[in-house]
């Protein structure tokens, strides 16, 4: 990368370089691009670079920097002397402001002689000029404010105690009088209520108004006490000083920020080297750029990287595991008390910590590289005032959501990753404490239907799909039909019917499920009713087909209330004009439902309907509570599942009852992928998704 002849500020204004050495180099590089005699120009460039220290501009620049160093050293001593001369009779804020003004005046005078030499000197001169112009007004404001505050404080010390006691007696008497007035008023209002002249609500409002007036009158009267009024005045004055002082200092910093944006910076670098030299220690580059607060933030990230993330990844601070190495070994060569599952989880935690560390390194590197590139173009790095303003304006969403992100990482992503990796291990009843990696063997068992677990999987998958489609579609159909009926203008008592239709949703589902489970038991009421009607003992819970039918009907009834509520809300928002226009065109009731009602309802509720299918696919409670997944058929399902088990309840029994955690994790992964795929297909094909409303 070559030097450029011109610089650009943050706004985009163009400036010619003041660094005559770099300017000369930039012009030679420009000549080199268009010249036919490149060797001669390249020789000039080499000679100029070799004699860099002898260049007249660099000699002047070096002299300036030496003088600046001596000046700043001397100024530091003068500031200390001046600060001491102010004594301790003034406030710390006042002292700091006066010292800043003293330093600004000295700096303005020093840098005024070098504004033509370098943009740094020009920026320092203009910056201190702004400070010299604005600080006297700020100091004057603070002087006046502190004088008024001191007067109030002196008044506080000179309060006449005898007069205050008299005022307290007057206030007490005033309170008694006001209390009598309010009591009389309340009695009058209550008598009006008894006579029926005002309502109960009006009585309550009138009494409330009287009490507020009483409190307000007492509060106003309390300011007759000099002590109280003085206390409030002191509090108000302190607040006024703090707020206005912050405003004036904010204006000063803002003006300096505007100056920074319009004053370029020159650097000898032609490419951002510092990010590559300091990327292993986030924050160091920012400190070298004099962005101290930003550097401090990234240094905290460095402490996390080198004191937490890397040690944990190497096994230090683990409960049992060995960091990332433990994730590979899974405690196969460890002690008897070591458990592979703990090694797996701690290895995953180590990986996430390392990922967070790499993100911190990348963000620091990216920030520093961006700053360095801008410096090469001529743009000055932001100070903390500008950085904090930008964070408040643009970074607020990230700051607010970052705690939630960390919670998601350790409560969602870590368990998900654990389940995925566990599916590639051999954790089974024989290998609970220690197990190793088995690759895709568990997925092979499932895909090929090998062994009892694999064969059972396909039987249960088929029933799960049938259950999901049938139960959800039935619930949607019932809910939509009921919503149409309840929304019909000819139906009387809509409120009653709507209340009845939402009962299945209002009553906790487990109560309804357990109720029907008892009713369909061998001695249940419904079983006895069917026996009395048919003369046959029909035990639903002992018959796989009947159990499945009842489960579908039961879920259709339980799920219909939610669909009813969704559909009712949409139906009530459909404009009547559409139906009136359809009536004019001679549309039948079915045509209006098909071409108006149904498309609008589906457009509004399609995403939620898709989620209902996903919910029922993993509906564990109804299967477990109704019949525990039964009836059981050991010849077909072994001891792993029952005839009505869904995949979710099958996984529960597989892992919790039979300890086939690895295969259970593999099935979980397959279910998740399948649900995500079909949910995506459902969303993608919905009209709302196509019109980019999701």
Same domain, 170 and 100: no
Residues 197 and 121 in one domain: no
Q: What is the pLDDT of residue 62?
A: 94
What's residue 685's pLDDT?
64
The mean pLDDT of the chain is 88
502: CB partners within 8 A, 6+ apart: 561, 564, 565
The number of CA neighbours under 13 Å toward the Cβ of 551 is 32
Helices (H), 283-339: 284-288, 292-304, 310-313, 323-329
**Alpha-carbon separation of residue 400 from 261, 397, 404, 619 (angstroms):** 29, 5, 8, 34
Task: Classify residue 440: in a domain, yes or no.
Answer: no
Residue-wise pLDDT tens digits, 643-664: 999 999 999 998 888 889 999 9
Average pLDDT over residues 459-468: 93
Residue 238 lies in a domain: no
Give the C-alpha separation, 353 to 308, whole Å: 8
Note whether residue 236 is domain-resident.
no
Q: At residue 597, does pLDDT exceed 90?
A: no
Angle among Cα 321, 417, 457 to the nearest 5 degrees reads 115
Instruction: Check pLDDT > 60 for residue 432.
Output: yes
Beta carbons of 567 and 483 less than 8 angstroms apart: yes
Same domain, 463 and 583: yes
**106 and 199, same domain (yes or no):** no
CATH number of the domain within which 562 lies: 1.10.3720.10
Model confidence pLDDT, tens digit, residues 136-173: 999 999 999 989 888 888 887 787 788 878 878 888 88
Residue 693 has pLDDT above 70, yes or no: no
455 found inside a domain: yes
C-alpha 330 chain-centroid distance: 35
Give me the percent of the chain exceeding a pLDDT of 70: 98
DSSP state of 199: -
Q: Please indicate, yes or no, whether residues 59 and 194 belong to a single structural domain of this protein.
A: no
Could you give the C-alpha distances from 345 to 26, 201, 548, 659, in angstroms and in order? 58, 63, 39, 18
The answer to whether residue 387 is domain-embedded is: yes
pLDDT in tens, 24-62: 998 888 888 887 778 888 888 889 889 999 999 999 999
Q: How far apart are CA 470 and CA 479, in angstroms?
A: 14
Residues 527 and 633 in one domain: yes
Residue 307, classed as helix, strand or coil, is helix
For 225-244, the pLDDT digits (tens) are 778 888 888 889 889 999 99
The verdict on 330 and 256 lying in the same domain is: no
pLDDT tens by residue, 488-498: 777 777 778 77
Residue 488: helix, strand or coil by DSSP?
Answer: coil
Whether residue 566 contacts residue 482, with contact meaning beta carbons closer than 8 Å, is answered with: no
Residue 237 lies in a domain: no
In this predicted structure, the answer to whether residue 690 has a pLDDT above a threshold of 60 is no
Contacts of 271 (CB under 8 A, 6+ apart): 1, 376
118 shares a domain with 258: yes
Q: Is pLDDT of 688 > 70?
A: no
379 and 414 in a single domain? The answer is yes
Would you say residue 678 has pLDDT above 90?
no
Are 180 and 216 within one domain? yes
Report pLDDT for 687: 58
* Confidence (pLDDT) at 694: 45
Q: Is the pLDDT of residue 684 over 80?
A: no
507 in any annotated domain? yes
Q: Domain span at residue 408?
A: 274-422
Instruction: Provide mean pLDDT across the span 615-636.
Output: 89
What is the band of 129 on the pLDDT scale with cuts at 50, 70, 90? very high
Q: Are residues 283 and 250 in the same domain?
A: no
Give how many domains the chain has, as a whole number. 4
Average pLDDT on 428-456 reads: 88
What number is the average pLDDT over the span 581-593? 80
Residue 268 lies in a domain: no
Is residue 510 domain-shared with residue 639, that is, in the same domain? yes
Distance separating alpha carbons of residues 39 and 361, to the nearest angstrom: 43
- CA dist 318 and 306 (Å) reads 15
Burial string for 278-310 (b: 16+ CB within 10 Å, else e) reads: bbebbbbbbbebebeebbebbbebbebbeeebb
């Amino acid at each position: 990368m070559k030097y450029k002849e011109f610089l650009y500020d943050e706004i985009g204004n163009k400036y010619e370089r003041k660094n005559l050495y770099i300017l000369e180099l930039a012009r030679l590089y420009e000549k080199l691009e268009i010249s036919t005699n490149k060797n001669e120009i390249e020789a000039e460039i080499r000679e100029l670079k070799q004699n860099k220290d002898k260049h007249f501009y660099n000699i002047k620049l070096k002299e300036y920097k030496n003088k600046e160093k001596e000046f700043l050293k001397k100024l530091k001593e003068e500031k200390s002397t001046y600060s001491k001369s102010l004594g301790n009779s003034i406030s710390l804020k006042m002292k700091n402001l006066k010292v800043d003004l003293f330093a600004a005046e000295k700096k303005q005078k020093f840098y005024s002689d070098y504004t033509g030499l370098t943009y740094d000197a020009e920026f320092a001169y203009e910056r201190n000029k702004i400070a010299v112009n604005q600080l006297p007004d700020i100091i004057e404001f603070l002087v006046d404010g502190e004088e008024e505050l001191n007067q109030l404080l002196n008044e506080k010390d000179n309060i006449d105690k005898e007069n205050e006691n008299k005022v307290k007696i007057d206030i007490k008497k005033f309170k008694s009088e006001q209390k009598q007035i309010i009591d009389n008023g309340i009695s009058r209002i209550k008598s009006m209520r008894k006579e029926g002249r005002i309502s109960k609500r009006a009585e309550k409002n009138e009494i409330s108004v009287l009490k507020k007036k009483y409190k307000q009158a007492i509060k106003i009267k309390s300011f007759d006490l000099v002590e109280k009024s003085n206390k409030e005045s002191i509090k108000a004055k302190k607040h006024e000083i703090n707020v206005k002082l912050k405003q004036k200092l904010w204006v000063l910093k803002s003006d300096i920020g505007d100056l920074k944006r319009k004053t370029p910076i020159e650097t000898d670098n032609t490419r951002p080297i510092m990010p590559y030299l300091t990327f292993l220690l986030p924050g160091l580059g920012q400190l070298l750029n004099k962005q101290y607060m930003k550097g401090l933030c990234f240094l905290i990230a460095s402490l996390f990287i080198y004191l937490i993330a890397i040690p944990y990844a190497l096994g230090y601070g683990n409960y049992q595991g060995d960091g990332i190495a433990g994730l590979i070994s899974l405690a196969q060569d460890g002690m008897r008390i070591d458990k592979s599952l703990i090694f797996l989880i701690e290895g995953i935690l180590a990986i996430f910590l390392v990922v967070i560390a790499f993100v911190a390194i990348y963000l620091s590197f990216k920030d520093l590289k961006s700053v360095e590139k801008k410096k090469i173009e001529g743009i000055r790095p932001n100070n903390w005032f500008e950085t904090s303003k930008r964070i408040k304006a643009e970074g607020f969403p990230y700051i607010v959501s970052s705690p939630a992100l960390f919670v998601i990482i350790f409560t969602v992503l870590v368990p998900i990753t654990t389940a995925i990796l566990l599916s590639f291990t051999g954790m089974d009843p024989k290998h609970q404490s220690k197990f190793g990696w088995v690759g895709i063997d568990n997925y092979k068992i499932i895909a090929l239907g090998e062994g009892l677990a694999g064969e059972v999987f396909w039987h249960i998958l088929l029933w799960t799909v049938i259950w999901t489609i049938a139960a959800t579609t039935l619930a949607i159909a019932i809910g939509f039909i009921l919503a149409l009926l309840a929304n019909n203008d000819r139906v009387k008592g809509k409120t009653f019917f709507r209340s009845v239709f939402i009962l299945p949703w209002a009553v906790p589902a487990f109560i309804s499920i357990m109720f029907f489970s008892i009713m369909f038991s061998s001695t249940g009421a419904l079983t006895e009713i069917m026996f009395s009607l048919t003369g046959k003992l029909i035990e639903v819970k002992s018959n796989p087909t009947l159990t499945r039918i009842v489960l579908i009907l039961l879920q259709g009834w339980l799920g219909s209330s939610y669909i009813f509520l969704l559909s009712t809300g949409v139906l009530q928002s459909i404009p009547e004009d559409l139906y009136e226009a359809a009536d004019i065109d001679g549309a039948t009731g079915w045509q209006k439902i098909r071409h108006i009602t149904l498309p609008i309802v589906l457009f509004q509720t399609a995403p939620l309907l898709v989620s209902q299918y996903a919910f029922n696919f993993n509906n564990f409670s109804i299967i477990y509570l109704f019949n525990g997944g039964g009836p059981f058929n050991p010849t077909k399902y072994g001891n792993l599942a029952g005839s009505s088990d869904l995949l979710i309840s099958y996984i529960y029994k597989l892992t919790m009852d039979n300890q086939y955690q690895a295969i259970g994790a593999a099935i979980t992964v397959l279910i998740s992928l399948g649900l995500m795929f079909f949910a995506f297909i459902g969303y993608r094909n919905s009209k709302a998704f196509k019109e980019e409303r999701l």
